[in-house]
Amino acid sequence: MKKNNKILLVTIAALAIIALVVWYYWDKVDEKGGSHQPQPQSQQQASVVNNFDDCVSAGYQVAESYPRQCKTPDGKTFTEDIGNELEKTDLIRISSPRPNDVVQSPLKITGEARGFWFNEASFPIKIYDADGKELAVAIAGAKSDWMTDSFVPFEATLEFQSPGSGKGILVLQKDNPSGLKENDDSLTVPIKFGKSAK
């Protein structure tokens, strides 16, 4: 019985010494700048974060500002693309879809624009894919008297052949019957494509 206890104590002591040696070795590897473990996922991904979407996908912190901002651990800040909405807010406002919404055909577009954005109670809306290819055009119609400088509600429905995925852009163009470039204006709204309901 005593012999068995002695063997057990020797075995435990030997295992403790081995554990200490292993711990010491691994600790020294870390001090010399080596690594015995894979890098954390966030460190591996830091090198491939090139834009707001990459930053969000990597799981980094997103500030709920408008537009939203995402910060990486190395101090880089990426701002969400919302088109030129903030620049045009006193001319035209879009209620639906909102920037970066996932859209599908048919797409109902609503909002409000100053009366001078219209001509004969309408203005064109175009949708483009990520390569700049025009997918469709719709005509937005005023929902009340457009002969005013005030905001007038509008509505349009766009039917288009969806690329199925990826990004695109909506362009709400000020109607410009003069054809003069200095009278051109537009609201650009980045969107993402979902599968068509058709």
- Which DSSP category does 105 fall into? S
Domain membership of residue 198 (yes or no) is no
List pLDDT tens digits, range 83-111.
999 999 999 999 999 999 999 999 999 99
- Judge if 105 and 173 occupy the same domain: yes
Does the pTM surpass 0.75? The reply is no
Domain membership of residue 107 (yes or no) is yes
- Judge if 70 and 153 occupy the same domain: no
Our count of domains for the chain comes to: 3
Domain membership of residue 143 (yes or no) is yes
List pLDDT tens digits, range 175-196.
999 989 999 999 999 999 987 5
Domain membership of residue 151 (yes or no) is yes
- Judge if 109 and 174 occupy the same domain: yes
- Judge if 92 and 184 occupy the same domain: yes
Range of the domain at 67: 41-79
Question: Which stretch of DSSP H or E encloses residue 88?
Answer: helix 85-88
CATH number of the CATH domain containing 186 = 2.60.40.2550
- Judge if 167 and 187 occupy the same domain: yes
Record the tokens describing residue 151, joined without a space. 């905001």
Kindly report which listed range (50-54, 123-127, 143-147, 160-164) carries the lowest average pLDDT score: 160-164
Strands (E), the chain: 61-63, 69-71, 77-79, 92-96, 102-103, 107-114, 122-129, 134-142, 151-158, 167-173, 186-193
Record the tokens describing residue 42, joined without a space. 């966030």
- Judge if 108 and 73 occupy the same domain: no
Among 136, 177, 143, 173, residue whose Cα is nearest residue 157: 136
- Judge if 48 and 110 occupy the same domain: no
Among 104, 99, 95, 177, residue whose Cα is nearest residue 135: 104
